[in-house]
Amino acid sequence: EVSTADPETAFCTLANREELNPEEGSIHHCLYQFTRNETLTETNKLLCDVCTQRRCGPKNNIKSEKKYVYTNAKKQMLISLAPPILTLHLKRFQHAGFNLRKVNRHIKFPEVIDLAPFCTAKCKNVAEGNTKVLYSLYGVVEHSGTMRSGHYTAYVKMRAMNNHLSDLVLRGQSQALETEPVKGQWFHISDTHVQPVSVSKVLSSQAYLLFYERLL
């Protein structure tokens, strides 16, 4: 989706992403890499309708694909609508020849994450002037084992109902959201076995799926 046709603001974000300096092996680094500015050149050039019309006239006069004009371009994927619930799915496999191998590396993730450096400057459901889009962690899915077999467990935070979040989900807006992590008790769930755990235990897990709820 093209959120703005203005080339001056097309690649602008709510917060300065260049000040991040994200640590490699962190979820911030993953998001930074996923939303980085890319240059499209050579075989990745973009088909330019304006350039084509300048050279060949109206589209209905173009009879050969050879007449289309391709040009260098810049590409960047940014968030244009901040979701009430943020789900991050980590790619936990890599190709090893013709085989797939599981990636067991620990990826650091915070209890509260700010998406502003990854949101377009004109993010639709962020109030004008806001430079933060905060989310609080409430669930983690972890996988142990290999690509062929294994076991899924989960960490879930038991917490009070968030009325502000309900407003955001049902009406797409909220008047007042918190900026601190949602208070509650974390539990580790494995099949029918449930036990309380500390937040440090949660943050040290080998996350496969991360679930955040919006704060601000």
User: Can you spell out the DSSP letters for 108-124?
Assistant: B--SEEE-GGGBBTT-T
pLDDT of 113 above 60: yes
Q: Which residues contact 90 (CB under 8 A, 6 or more apart)?
A: 30, 107, 207, 208, 209, 210
Residue of 62 and 177 predicted with greater confidence: 177
Distance CA 142, CA 156 (A): 11
Whether the CB-CB separation of 151 and 145 falls below 8 Å is answered with yes
Name the token pair of 145. 């084992």
Least confident of 55-59, 74-78, 90-94, 119-123: 55-59
Q: Which residues pair with 49 in a beta bridge?
A: none
pLDDT of 110 above 70: yes
For residue 132, what is the domain's CATH number?
A: 3.90.70.10
Name the token pair of 33. 């890499």
Q: What share of the chain is helix, strand, coil (3-state, %, to 5)?
A: 20, 35, 45
Whether the CB-CB separation of 135 and 215 falls below 8 Å is answered with yes
**What DSSP element (H or E) covers 94?**
strand 93-96
Residue 53 lies in a domain: no
- The predicted pLDDT at position 90 comes to 92
Q: What range does the domain containing 83 cover?
A: 79-174+181-215
Whether the CB-CB separation of 168 and 176 falls below 8 Å is answered with no
**Structure confidence by residue, pLDDT tens digits, 136-153:** 999 999 998 887 788 999
pLDDT of 100 above 90: no
Residue 185 lies in a domain: yes
Residue 70 lies in a domain: no
Residue of 182 and 59 predicted with greater confidence: 182
Secondary structure letter of residue 23 according to DSSP: P
The SS3 assignment for 79 reads strand
What mean pLDDT is predicted for residues 21-49? 90
Residue 52 lies in a domain: no
pLDDT of 70 above 70: yes
Residue 168 lies in a domain: yes
Secondary structure letter of residue 157 according to DSSP: E
Secondary structure letter of residue 125 according to DSSP: T
- The predicted pLDDT at position 2 comes to 53
For residue 42, what are the CA distances in angstroms to 12, 29, 64, 163, 200?
A: 25, 28, 20, 51, 47
Residue 152 lies in a domain: yes
Question: 178: closest CA among 202, 213, 211?
Answer: 213
What mean pLDDT is predicted for residues 194-216? 94
**Structure confidence by residue, pLDDT tens digits, 29-42:** 999 999 998 888 89
Q: With cut-offs at 50, 70 and 90, classify the pLDDT of residue 61.
A: low
Residue 63 lies in a domain: no
Residue 208 lies in a domain: yes
- The predicted pLDDT at position 64 comes to 52
- Structural domain count, the chain: 1
- The predicted pLDDT at position 198 comes to 96
